[in-house]
Amino acid sequence: AAGVIQSPRHLIKEKRETATLKCYPIPRHDTVYWYQQGPGQDPQFLISFYEKMQSDKGSIPDRFSAQQFSDYHSELNMSSLELGDSALYFCASSRLGGGTTDTQYFGPGTRLTVL
Amino acid sequence: QQQVKQSPQSLIVQKGGIPIINCAYENTAFDYFPWYQQFPGKGPALLIAIRPDVSEKKEGRFTISFNKSAKQFSLHIMDSQPGDSATYFCAASPPRLFSGSARQLTFGSGTQLTVLP
């Protein structure tokens, strides 16, 4: 079965640089979520999109922005990177249309290292 | 403020043992309680989930017990195997604000489970 695809899997950036993370949800899923997981930490919700509209917003820094495109893939844009942004970034997807399920399926994550 | 408190932080059991992981929540609006399993370098994978209208749910070797009045829920893993060694996260979310809005998951701090052969 198709899963959530994230790219790149690993990313190394310098402080103050920008980074773009991409997420391709499971086919026919209409909702995308972004989570940040620091070393030894639990995933923290950043932002979600349903049908290309922002649905909910968590602890996402103002330096970060995200959007969901017409093909339902999503991109997380991170600017002015700081050392503390080093983390695993997970994308999850679900299908809310038709009230089918609340299950969020997570991708393998993008490991961002800021030097 | 940790809205979902998980314990223990780590747990070691022998093969065949029954590890129990506990979570407590504060937000009485939460109405969806999933458990996720995460292997190193991988994304969390849903194991089992429960809603507050039932006190127990079993799927294979995994059982959730739910105590609404105490605002606590726990995961039991029957006949644990070395392959179950992973980090387990409980999570919770409130109802969707409106049709089409997405659920925001709040995770516990995780439990590192080691099952010895």
Residue A18 contacts residue A78 (beta carbons within 8 Å)? yes
Between the ranges A54-63, B5-14, B88-97, where is the mean pLDDT highest?
B5-14
CA distance B38 to B45: 6
Q: Which pLDDT score, from 0 to 100, does residue B94 have?
A: 83
Report the residue from B93, B100, B107 with minimal CB separation from A51. Answer: B100
The answer on pLDDT for B103 being more than 80 is: no
Residue B93 has pLDDT above 80, yes or no: yes
The answer on pLDDT for A23 being more than 60 is yes
Question: In this predicted model, what pLDDT tens digit does every residue of A3-20 receive, in sequence order?
Answer: 999 999 999 999 999 999
Q: For residue range B16-26, what is the model confidence (pLDDT) as tens digits?
A: 999 999 999 99
Interface test with chain A among B4, B30, B38, B93, by most A beta carbons within 10 Å: B38
- Residues with Cβ < 8 Å from B18, sequence gap 6 or more? B76, B77, B78, B79, B80
Residue of A nearest to B103 (CA): A102
| A49 contacts on B by Cβ (under 8 Å) | 102
